[in-house]
Amino acid sequence: MTFEPTGRLGIVAGGGTLPRRLVNVCRAAGIEHFVLALEGATDPATVEDAPHAWCRMGALATGFRLLHDHGVTDLVLAGGVRRPSLLELRPDWRAAKFLARVGYRALGDDGLLSAFIKELEQEGFRVIGADQLLEAAMPEGPLGSLAPDEDAAKDIAHGLRIAQALGALDIGQAVVVQQGLVLGVEAIEGTDALLRRCAELRRDGPGGVLVKIEKPGQERRVDLPTIGRRTVTLAAEAALRGIAAQAGATLLLDREEVVRAADAAGLFVVGIRVA
Amino acid sequence: MTFEPTGRLGIVAGGGTLPRRLVNVCRAAGIEHFVLALEGATDPATVEDAPHAWCRMGALATGFRLLHDHGVTDLVLAGGVRRPSLLELRPDWRAAKFLARVGYRALGDDGLLSAFIKELEQEGFRVIGADQLLEAAMPEGPLGSLAPDEDAAKDIAHGLRIAQALGALDIGQAVVVQQGLVLGVEAIEGTDALLRRCAELRRDGPGGVLVKIEKPGQERRVDLPTIGRRTVTLAAEAALRGIAAQAGATLLLDREEVVRAADAAGLFVVGIRVA
């Protein structure tokens, strides 16, 4: 763990299991923490037995007050949040001020998150990445017993070129390529939905590969590409040959289970270096 | 119609209703024609009562022989074809020679189609576009009684930037944007599947727009962006506000029905100029 707390750690919790992992890390390491749970996003299991409060996403003034009142100095943003429309967000005065300044609709996901992190820093918080709390960086090279063959390596190279272009447009992080065909590209639906869709689109012959990388210039403290057991399960159901994820920039959750599941399904999982 | 036949017109028929429309145009205009129907792609209704033969996609030598034997001099390629993997394609010697030369897996859809058209021309055929037989080019400006408001115009402009980038990568022709959010981008699944998916991904508030353009430098004689009744129906089911398609470069099928359906559903359909 590279994180040295300066005061209480605030965990702004989106969906999925990552926020709870951070709570567990804090408990094990004796780090004082407080979870800000987001209505409609956070799994209630995340905050069970943990010091926490619930807050609406659009209620930025309330959120800031809750964090300050609980002595939070450092912040980690973890877990996915379905980006709402302005109407769904119902911004309070503080959120409206922020959004008017940055221009909500002009920004892609990454642009908006970067702007939001700057806002948090101006409010006095130090923002850290979940990877500073978890020992979970994707290593370079094959993880399990399988490695991509020459054919799969070509699909990985093709997918990488496309993922970099998509990332530069702040559209998505993932792409599925089979024998040179782009079966699908990720936008707002996320990698799980992309993989489910590609199960229907696959061609006969050697299966495709999922390539997942961070967006170029991505704010590394939020929304890192993540690979976990479910990624392997869905990739196997889509009859893929393997998964290639950016080494160093991908959160690899439950490494041992990922390796076991990939080996059992006959998939490779490989960390690739991105220039 | 801008087409002057030099001999018999061959219609290489993919899926959908476009090939049958061309058969009907030929009949009405007294153009001698012969349909090469592709197994697994052509709707049998396309070739009913029309001079035709069936052929496997990978059997290029057979296809060429059939066309020559029937006195075909001009060719039109019409209707979608699901791009197969090499294994599914089972190329004969002629197809294998072509594919080895162009590098099947290195090419996107448009690259492959352009190379295939060159091959047809080298075989002695003149290849024309379906738009030379149909009076169906998308005009500039709104088609029905509705036009995009300022808000929708912003989504169209954003979608256009993204569609141009996707097209430059030879990935797809279409994108759906709602209030600045990229709900989905089209790859191999096609526009219909993109629209169905976006029905699940939509946010509250003003609906999104579908933007559909040709790929930059696209071979205009095949795979033109197409808008028809079904596009309007699916866009309405995805609660979109409207459809923007490239003026001059989009095939607009059943214009009157498109306008009627769009007006009834409260959607705009607008032809946009692409620089």
CB interface of A with B, residues 247-266, below 8 Å: none
Percent of chain A with pLDDT over 90: 67
| Mean pLDDT on B42-66 | 94
- Closest residue, chain A, to B166 (C-alpha): A166
CB interface of A with B, residues 168-187, below 8 Å: 169, 171-172, 178-185, 187
Query: Residues B80-135: pLDDT tens digits?
Result: 888 888 888 899 999 999 998 888 776 777 788 889 999 999 999 999 988 888 87
Residue B150 contacts A, CB cutoff 8 Å: no
Helical ranges in A146-228 per DSSP H: 150-168, 190-201
Q: What is the mean pLDDT of chain B?
A: 91
Pairwise CB contact (< 8 Å): A165 & B162: no
CA distance B250 to chain A (A): 23
CB interface of B with A, residues 194-223, below 8 Å: 197, 200-201, 203-205
Residues of B in contact with A172 (CB under 8 A): 182, 185
The pLDDT score that the predictor gives to residue B1 is 60
| Higher pLDDT pick, A106 / A7 | A7
CA distance A261 to chain B (A): 27
Query: Residues B144-189: pLDDT tens digits?
Result: 999 999 999 999 999 999 999 999 888 899 999 999 899 999 999 9
Residues of A in contact with B185 (CB under 8 A): 166, 171-172, 185, 187
Query: Residues A108-122: pLDDT tens digits?
Result: 777 888 899 999 999
* DSSP-assigned letter for residue A64: H
CA A222, CA A224: separation in Å to the nearest integer?
6
Residue A224 contacts B, CB cutoff 8 Å: no
Whether B242 and B177 have beta carbons less than 8 Å apart is answered as: no
Residue B189 contacts A, CB cutoff 8 Å: yes
CA A204, CA B41: separation in Å to the nearest integer?
16
Whether B243 and B259 have beta carbons less than 8 Å apart is answered as: no
CA distance B128 to chain A (A): 26
The pLDDT score that the predictor gives to residue B2 is 66
On the question of pLDDT at A219 being above 80, the answer is no
What pTM, to 2 d.p., does this model score?
0.82
CA B85, CA B179: separation in Å to the nearest integer?
37
What b-and-e string marks burial along A250-264, b requiring 16 or more CB atoms within 10 Å of the CB? bbbbbbeebbebbbe
On the question of pLDDT at A191 being above 90, the answer is yes
CA A204, CA A74: separation in Å to the nearest integer?
50
- Closest residue, chain A, to B164 (C-alpha): A169
Query: Residues B184-213: pLDDT tens digits?
Result: 999 999 999 999 999 999 988 899 999 999
Residue B7 contacts A, CB cutoff 8 Å: no
Whether B195 and B230 have beta carbons less than 8 Å apart is answered as: no
The pLDDT score that the predictor gives to residue B137 is 83
Residue B157 contacts A, CB cutoff 8 Å: no
